[in-house]
Structure 1
């Protein structure tokens, strides 16, 4: 189990390093003020788009969602959108963890750092 976790952490670190190098070399402002996400309710099969203003929390059902930062890649042929997102599930009262998700999301590879929730699925769609 630890080996899988170490591999996952290593892959995330490599992806963040590559992304920060490619984003850091750009002369244009690739950072956005708004992050757009889609939320799928796995029980009802309803799909909802949300626009998150960075550093402002939005309530969606039992979730509190906050986007801290989002960036677009400088490459037009293979666009990548990354965002640092925090999610709190207010229905969980006996858990010591504050966030059910706290980390970077990648639009092209959501499985690198997946949002794991029994009811909802969240994925990143744009940054502007």
Structure 2
């Protein structure tokens, strides 16, 4: 029974972390994110360095990593984000977001959307 559990856990981790499954991914020094206020339609873009944080529409966004295909720097970006309520520290989202498929792993917030546009490559 234990080998089956280990195999399932390994598969779940691989599926839950698409960046690790992508061969030839390179880490960028930062990322460009976009936030949307769904009530009034306002958008804001933010450029974050890896390890940096910014407040977008009252949510604290921290970028841990941003990766992109080595052979296509302008291609699909994957960013590991942590999004918190700044007052309480409650985590609203933590995980990898994929630029080409933002709905695949998205922030679930009643008013705001935040997604990855691309990694910085310089």
* TM-score (ref. length: structure 2): 0.76
1:73 to 69, 88, 94: 69
Which among 35, 38, 53 is matched to residue 34 of structure 2?
Answer: 38
Structure with higher strand content: 2
- The answer on whether the counterparts of 1:22 and 1:74 sit within 8 Å (CA) in structure 2 is no
Q: Separation in 1 of the partners of 2:16 and 2:71?
A: 16
Matched, 1:50 2:66: no
Match of 1:84 among 76, 80, 83: 80
Looking at structure 2, the residues matched to 80 and 60 of structure 1 have their Cα atoms a distance apart, in angstroms, of 23
Give the match for residue 111 of structure 2.
Answer: 119
Shift of 1:75: 4.6
CA shift at 1:14, angstroms? 2.2
The CA deviation at 1:15 is 6.0
CA-atom RMSD in angstroms: 2.5
User: Alignment partner of 1:20: what SS?
Assistant: helix
- For residues 43 and 76 of structure 2, what CA distance do their matches in structure 1 show? 22
> Which blocks of at least 5 consecutive residues in structure 2 are unaligned?
1-10
Provide the aligned length of Structure 1 versus Structure 2: 109
Instruction: For structure 1, list consecutive stretches of 5 or more residues without a partner in the other structure.
Output: 1-8
Report the TM-score when normalising by structure 1. Answer: 0.72
Contact persistence 1:84–1:102 (CA under 8 A): yes
